[in-house]
């Protein structure tokens, strides 16, 4: 295991469980002294947030800490959130259940991890050949997406807030070249969400593993290939040590949204100003993570290819076309699971059609013009 990864995976869980005993469970205590005798002492909320990430993983693993710092400062210490990485209180894939049941007040992760329980949740992380980060933010915050997400999670006693985006990811790490769809057949690959279902239909076997288990699984042959995020995070995991080819583009996750989830009773127990502070802080990390990945990915890619000999490869057009076709089938199947899933699917696709049309003459036209008109 690479040393950079080891450093944040090994602290025994019990140390943090003990540390968390003091103020968890939504307990309240008077804060400070008030010189005004008639004033009610401000209630202090000490909350716990569990995540699906290895603690302190650059980017998404640090974002919950940033959120916590912001909330403490913005609330003048009235809302304090202690962050626990994957495995500290619950395993990575226990986050949804722990927050839903009120074991802890909050979580940070990605909605597609819960597809076994809530298939339509996958629309709120990533749809293969779906929306980019910019487009996802538009759908969620100005296109009706957030309202549908809240409706979907209400029955699980959860309030969702968008909490980060990595931008377009990489297609992943392989030890064989992918020259045709046949090269995917028989491969066991870590690829979560709808991308995994597409991969299954393409003849592979998709495995859903949390980030912290990827390196060892690939090293020991439990999986043959993996996707994780992109150069900035993949370099830290040391995936170049166990795979030769690094493929792009990330058709499976073109702009995945991460989620902050809050136990609904706990959220409702907050006064309106603390609810607003929490939402604003989550919205800030939602934007900040995208900025961080955008700024850091290229340097990490240069290190991977320049210093570590990674071979960068583009998936062939016919492979992408076949995966795109399967993606449309898989996405349509989710719509048939229940009426709310259909409304989410229909909203997503209607928005996608509109935004794609305008992107042709805006982002895409500009990026093409910038590339093709560059002075030689």
By the criterion CB under 5 A, which residues form the site for Ca ion? 169, 227, 253
CB closer to Ca ion out of 68 and 226: 226
Nearer to Ca ion, 137 or 169 (CB): 169
Q: How far apart are CB 287 and Ca ion at their closest, in Å?
A: 20
Shortest gap between Cβ of 88 and Ca ion (angstroms)? 22
CB-nearer residue toward Ca ion: 270 or 310: 310
Q: Which 3-state string (H, E, C) describes 309-322?
A: CCEEEECCHHHHHH
Query: In this complex, which beta carbon is closest to Ca ion, that of residue 24 or of residue 195?
Result: 195
Q: Which of 50, 11, 61 is nearest to 237 (CA)?
A: 61
**Residue of minimal CB distance from Ca ion?**
253
Distance from the Cα of residue 162 to its chain's centroid: 9
CB of 229 to Ca ion, least distance (A): 5
How long is the chain? 376
Candidates 130, 109, 121; CA nearest to 250 is: 130
The residue among 253 and 288 lying less far from Ca ion, judged by its C-beta, is 253
Q: Is the CB of 52 or the CB of 169 nearer to Ca ion?
A: 169
Q: How far is the CB of 169 from Ca ion (least distance, A)?
A: 5
What's the closest the beta carbon of residue 110 comes to Ca ion, in angstroms?
8
Q: Which two tokens stand for residue 2?
A: 């690479």
Q: Where are the alpha helices (DSSP H) in the chain?
A: 3-6, 13-20, 63-74, 95-100, 133-142, 145-154, 193-201, 214-219, 231-237, 264-269, 272-306, 317-335, 339-361, 363-372
- Residue 16 or 191: the one with the smaller Cβ distance to Ca ion is 191
Q: Are 239 and 172 in contact (CB under 8 A)?
A: no
What are φ and ψ of residue 16, in 5° steps?
A: -80, -30
In whole angstroms, how close is the CB of 297 to Ca ion at the nearest point? 13
Nearest Cα neighbor of 257 from 96, 63, 124, 140 is: 124
The Cα 231–Cα 302 span in angstroms is: 9
C-beta closer to Ca ion: residue 75 or 169 = 169
Q: How far is the CB of 337 from Ca ion (least distance, A)?
A: 23
Radius of gyration of the chain (CA): 21
Residue the block writes with tokens 């991890």? 113
Report the distance separating Cα 81 and Cα 46, nearest Å: 6
- CB of residue 256 vs Ca ion: minimum separation in angstroms? 6
């Amino acid at each position: 295991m690479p040393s950079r990864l080891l450093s944040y995976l090994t602290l025994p869980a019990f140390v943090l469980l003990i540390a968390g005993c003091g103020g968890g469970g939504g307990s309240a205590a008077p804060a400070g002294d008030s010189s005004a005798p008639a004033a009610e002492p401000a209630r202090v909320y000490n909350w716990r947030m569990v995540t699906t990430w290895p603690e302190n993983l650059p980017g998404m693993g640090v974002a919950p800490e940033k959120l916590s710092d912001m909330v403490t400062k913005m609330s003048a210490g009235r809302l304090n959130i202690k962050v626990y990485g994957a495995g500290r209180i619950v395993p990575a894939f226990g986050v949804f259940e722990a927050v839903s049941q009120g074991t802890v007040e909050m979580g940070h992760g990605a909605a597609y991890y819960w597809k076994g329980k809530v298939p339509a949740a996958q629309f709120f992380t990533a749809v293969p050949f779906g929306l980019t980060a910019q487009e996802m933010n538009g759908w969620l915050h100005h296109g009706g997406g957030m309202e549908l997400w809240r409706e979907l999670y209400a029955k699980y006693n959860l309030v969702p807030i968008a909490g980060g985006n990595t931008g377009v990811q990489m297609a992943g790490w392989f030890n064989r070249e992918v020259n045709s769809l046949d090269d995917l057949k028989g491969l066991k690959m870590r690829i979560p969400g709808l991308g995994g279902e597409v991969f299954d239909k393409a003849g592979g076997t998709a495995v859903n593993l949390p980030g912290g288990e990827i390196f060892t699984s690939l090293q020991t042959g439990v999986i043959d290939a993996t996707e994780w995020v992109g150069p900035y995070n993949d370099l830290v995991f040391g995936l170049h040590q166990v795979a030769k080819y690094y493929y792009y583009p990330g058709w499976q996750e073109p702009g995945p949204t991460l989620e902050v989830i809050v136990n609904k009773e706990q959220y409702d127990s907050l006064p309106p100003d603390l609810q607003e502070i929490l939402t604003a802080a989550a919205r800030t990390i939602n934007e900040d993570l995208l900025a961080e990945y955008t700024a850091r990915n290229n340097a990490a890619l240069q290190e991977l290819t320049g210093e570590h000999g990674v071979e960068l490869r583009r998936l062939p057009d016919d492979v992408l076309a076949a995966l795109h076709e399967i993606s449309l089938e898989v996405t349509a199947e989710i719509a048939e699971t229940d009426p709310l899933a259909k409304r989410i699917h229909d909203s997503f696709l209607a928005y996608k059609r509109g935004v794609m049309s305008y992107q042709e003459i805006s982002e895409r036209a500009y990026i093409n013009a910038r590339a093709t008109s560059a002075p030689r």
